[in-house]
């Protein structure tokens, strides 16, 4: 009768350990039913679920493994596995899988404890834990670091309830926690659409134009109320643009050259391009500045509002349909169709209430440094890191990123 034995090897990591152990098992025609290996701070943890055939008694196999492991200066343990236990393990196949991503400048034990406690309370089993961020020197400055730990969990879960609990925990701990299904779409996303103002750039362009026109306070007040969802975007947009009437077009170039690009934007987009993603700006701002960023960052598509000019002066109007929240969602759908992909393969990133329609239909909708209303209604959010933190939500390690 075939014997099932779980072999655990731990100790100082070195090349060839797995090869040595598996070679011994091969001599006895052992079948590997499961295998997993992890290395933390040069310490190895190797697990092998071995099915030892009846013609090869387990004692000689395990004795040879034991001697070789001790010769290598490592530790080993052997645990018999019953057929009933193995059948139960097999029955877990097909259960829903999710990814929990914890992001912060530095990750404290309290954050790990909170995340794993919530997962356990919902009956989710953690299969793997991976650090996606690179190794950080002890003397590194905390506000310039990136830290990310990814948990692969298995089991059914009430996603809305878990996201609400994770958002509460994130707010209390000053971290970001994302919870998403681990399905094929997570690994096949192909289009990323960004809001521009306060997302790709760290300012609202219309506020910069308003300062130049001498109506900064009036426009800023309307902008804030619109972003909070207190005003209809289109109506508020028209009110703000009207206040710009008479502004010289000469000031636009200077404002464009001074636009502060958001932390991590260049790193994110250069890597997305290298990985074959398409990118787009879907903005309630202005095409002039969207095209400037398109050239600077290498964006594929730009859809924003055209600021009407006459005799090089702003008329206080825009031409064409205003790009509001509904239009952003329509454009996301249109671009997905154009690229021949499903909505599940799209990503949308924004900070304001007018971004919620596109965030809600995208496969991965991310509220970036967003207002509380937007964070509460978006499925995912990033507030502690720069835009390049999105690469972690896609499952990329720092070692994969330029």
| Phi, psi of 312, rounded to the nearest 5 degrees | 60, 25
User: ∠ CA(306), CA(307), CA(309), 5° rounding?
Assistant: 125
Task: Report the alpha-carbon distance of residue 384 to residue 374 in Å, rounded.
Answer: 16
Burial class of residue 382 in the structure, from the number of CB atoms within 10 Å of its CB (0-12 exposed, 13-18 middle, 19+ buried):
buried
Catalytic member of 176, 197, 324, 355: 197
The secondary structure element, H or E, covering residue 238 is helix 233-242
Q: Is 197 a catalytic residue?
A: yes
- Give every CB contact of residue 284 below 8 A, 6+ residues apart in sequence: 195, 197, 233, 237, 304, 305, 322, 323, 324, 328, 352, 354
Report helix, strand or coil for 392: helix
Whether 337 is a known active-site residue: answer: no
**Element containing residue 265 per DSSP (H, E):** helix 265-274
> Is the distance from CB of 161 to CB of 315 less than 8 angstroms?
no
Q: Confirm if 251 and 164 have CB atoms less than 8 A apart.
A: no
Strands 43-52, 31-40: pairing is antiparallel
Instruction: List Cα–Cα distances, 313 to 49, 110, 246, 259, 337, in angstroms.
Output: 75, 56, 5, 21, 38
Identified catalytic residue from 42, 139, 183, 195: 195
Known catalytic residues are 195, 197
């Amino acid at each position: 009768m075939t014997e099932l034995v779980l072999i655990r090897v731990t100790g100082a990591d070195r090349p060839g350990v797995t090869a040595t152990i598996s070679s011994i098992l091969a001599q006895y025609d052992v079948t590997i039913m499961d295998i997993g290996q992890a290395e933390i701070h040069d310490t190895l943890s190797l697990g092998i679920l071995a099915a030892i055939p009846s013609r090869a008694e387990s004692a000689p196999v395990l004795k040879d493994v034991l001697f070789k492991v001790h010769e290598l200066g490592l530790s080993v343990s052997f645990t018999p596995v019953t057929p009933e236990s193995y059948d139960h393990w097999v029955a877990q196949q097909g259960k829903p899988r999710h990814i929990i991503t914890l992001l912060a400048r530095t990750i404290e034990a309290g954050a790990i404890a909170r995340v794993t406690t919530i997962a356990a309370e919902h009956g989710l089993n953690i299969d793997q834990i991976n650090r996606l961020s690179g190794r950080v020197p002890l003397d590194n400055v905390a506000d310039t670091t990136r830290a990310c730990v990814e948990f692969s969990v298995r089991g059914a879960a009430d996603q809305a309830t878990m996201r609400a609990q994770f958002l509460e925990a994130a707010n209390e701990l000053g971290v970001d926690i994302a919870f998403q299904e681990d399905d094929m779409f997570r690994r096949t996303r192909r289009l990323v659409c960004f809001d521009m103002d306060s997302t790709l750039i760290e300012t609202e362009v219309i506020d910069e134009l308003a300062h130049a026109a001498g109506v900064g306070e009036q426009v800023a007040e309307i902008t804030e109320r619109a972003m909070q969802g207190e005003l209809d975007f289109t109506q508020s947009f028209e009110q703000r643009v009207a206040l710009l009437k008479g502004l010289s077009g000469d000031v636009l170039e200077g404002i464009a050259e001074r636009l502060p690009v958001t932390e991590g934007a260049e790193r994110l987009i250069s890597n997305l391009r290298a990985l074959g993603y398409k990118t787009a700006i879907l903005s309630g701002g202005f095409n002039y500045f969207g095209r400037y960023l398109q050239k600077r960052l290498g964006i594929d598509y730009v859809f924003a509002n055209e600021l009407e000019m006459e005799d090089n002066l702003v008329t206080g109007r825009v031409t064409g349909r205003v790009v509001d929240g509904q239009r952003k969602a329509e454009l996301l759908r249109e671009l997905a169709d154009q690229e021949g992909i499903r909505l599940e393969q799209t990503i949308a990133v924004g900070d304001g209430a007018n971004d919620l329609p596109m965030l809600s239909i995208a496969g991965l909708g991310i509220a970036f440094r967003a207002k509380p209303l937007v964070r509460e209604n978006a499925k995912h959010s990033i507030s502690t890191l720069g835009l390049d933190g999105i690469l972690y939500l896609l499952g990329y390690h720092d070692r994969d990123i330029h």
